[in-house]
Each structure stands twice: as structure tokens, then as C-alpha cells.
Structure 1
């Protein structure tokens, strides 16, 4: 598969003829909705978990020094929380470009949460039985050319701490995601563990220049 998935997504026929489509965001789409939408609601999807296993060559890194961003990997008992957007079909074109670095549209069932609902520990199917709808989500699977896969958390943080791309520092992506999830009342152990390690790594750099303190 080529790295740029724009043309593949534009040939997909999911929800053709629909005037409105639900889109699930689990990464930067949670806090950076730079597209028009009709409605936004907290939501979750079942059977997927969020992982920093995808390279970013176009937003939070470069081809020579890619960053790391989130994708979804299958785990039957998992629940992934994020934000759902009700959009019109023409919004998908710009989103295909935004998500071109290995992400493909997939059909999924979105489960909507009450705005004031908090689900400690990421939630469970019993805690999230609410109204639902079919929608789309962009996922970068292990078959795309930018998939990096699992790595030690410290190695992931080292890469995130130094990567920088057209959309800004990779560290901002991680910290913004952690803050957005905390605001939603979601406990994502993977994201929060990385954010803690990143903050610990940055404190010595800011206080003592290039010297690195104990972590």
C-alpha cells in the first residue's frame, strides 16, 4: 500500500447518498476540529484500543524524522472513547487529506455518551449502553507503510519528544490528547503513561539545559 491513502478513501462508497454522516475521532480530532460539523457528542466504539503505533511524516514529523501518533488496534474487550461529529459528505474530502498518511475509512458503531458521564479506567460495554449509530472512523492498520507498531514506552516518548512537523511539535500532540481525554473524564492508561514520561523528560531539559536528569 502506498503511504498516501487519499485516493483510496475517495473511491470508498460508505454512506453514499446520505446527507449526514457520523465521524468518530480518537486522536487530534477530539480537540482540533478544523472542519465544519453539525453536532459534536462524546462517544465510544467497542473492540478497539488507542495506541501510539503510527508514524507521522506529514503533521508531527518529517519523512527523515517521523513522529508518532495514535491509531486503533483490535482488542475484543476494549472500549475506545473519543468525540463523534455529525458532518455532511463534502467534509470527507479535506479529512481524507488530513488523514492521508496511512489511514483508511472504516465503518463502525458509535455509542453516544451523556455529556456529563465519566467512565474511569476507559469504561466497559456495560457502562456505555446508550444510543448508537453507524458511522466512520479513520484507522491506520498494520498493513500500511507508516505503521511502526509496538515499542517500549520510553522509546516512544524519546521519539515524540524530538519529532517536529508542519503541524507542530509531536510532544504537543501527546499532551493535548492527554488533556482532552482527561477533560472527557476518560482514563487511557497508554496515553497517560506516555504523557507522564514525557513531562518527566522535559522538566530536566527546561531546568538544566541539555543535561538529562533522572526519570
Structure 2
């Protein structure tokens, strides 16, 4: 079973992995090469505010990212794309691009991917784990507490067989800060 050129795919590496929010015909584990999952974007909408920014995931340059790819029916594409633009681009911190991903079964479809815009003012870049923990602990936005986003990420990565030691260390640091009240 191959991939045809007219198939529509979306690659998710954060909450899209467990809460896509759109109809799809197929969901497959996938790897994107050339970008890595990182808390590299200041969140002033979903997980923080302008007064107290949090951090959300982005795809920073380098490495590889294991995530999920979704095949969307052509009939659902326009609505799915509009939904993704609203969800993923409230402050235009990502660049939409088409990238080839490797599915677990070996297929290599081209997928819509939202990569971090390193020129955007909300680009946080490569922060130390300590600085990430400081920003995530206590931050709250329209979609809830920042730590809950990180906790969901770690739990869902584990569920999908991905052990991301940096994310697990970060979660432990954030939980320790929140327990200590800061």
C-alpha cells in the first residue's frame, strides 16, 4: 500500500498527537527528520499571557521528531486546514510547510507541518532546562496550566512508546518548583 501524491497528511508532535480535533482516515506513528521537539516558543495565548508567558512546543532546527501523522480525506481538507490555522496560529509563531515524514510502516508521505518561526518575537530558542521549568511552572493561559500541557505530552509520548528523557526531566523539575511554590 503506497502513498499517492493527492493524499493529505498532517504531522503532529505535541497535543495534535493525542487530541487532533479533526476527522481523519488514518493515524500512523511517524518521524520527521531535520527538526526536533522543543519548548522553544513563548506562549502568550494557550499556556501563558503577555504578562506571564509560558512555553509551548515547537519544531526547532536539527535532530528528528517522533510523532503522529494523520491522513485526511480530501472532502474534509478545507475544514481541517481552517481548524488547524485557527488552533496552531493564534499569534503566527509557526511556519506552515510541507515535509516528508516516515511512517512506521515505511511509507513516506508529504505532510503539513507547523515548524517554529525562528524570526518571530515569541521564538525562545534554546533555553536551559532550568529556564524552561521556571517559565512553565505557574503559567496559565486560555487552554489551561502550562504544566498540564507538559504532563499530557510526557504521558502520551510514553503511551505511544516514546521515552523522551529531556521532557521527563523537565516535568520533574516543573513539578518540584510547583510543589515548592515557585
TM-score tier, shorter chain, comes to 0.7 to 0.9
Q: Distance in 2 between matches of 1:178 and 1:168?
A: 16
Structure 1: give runs of 5+ residues left out of the alignment. 1-16, 115-129
Task: Trace 1:65-104 onto structure 2 (pairs within 5 A).
Answer: 65-75=52-62, 78-87=63-72, 88-90=76-78, 91-100=80-89, 101=91, 102-104=93-95
Q: Distance in 2 between matches of 1:147 and 1:63?
A: 14
Aligned partner of 1:112 among 72, 79, 103:
103
Given the two structures, how large is their TM-score scaled by the length of structure 1? Answer: 0.74
1:141 paired residue number: 117
Structure 2: give runs of 5+ residues left out of the alignment. none
- When structure 1 is superposed on structure 2, of 85-94 and 193-202 the one drifting more is 193-202
Q: Distance in 1 between matches of 2:95 and 2:148?
A: 24
Deviation at 1:188, TM superposition (A): 2.0
Following TM superposition, where does structure 1 have runs of at least 4 consecutive aligned residues deviating by more than 4 angstroms? none
Deviation at 1:37, TM superposition (A): 1.7
Report how many aligned residue pairs link the two structures. Answer: 172
Given the two structures, how large is their TM-score scaled by the length of structure 2? Answer: 0.87
Deviation per CA, 1:125-156: give whole Å up to 9, x if none.
xxxxx121111101122111211112221121
2:43 is the counterpart of 1:56: yes
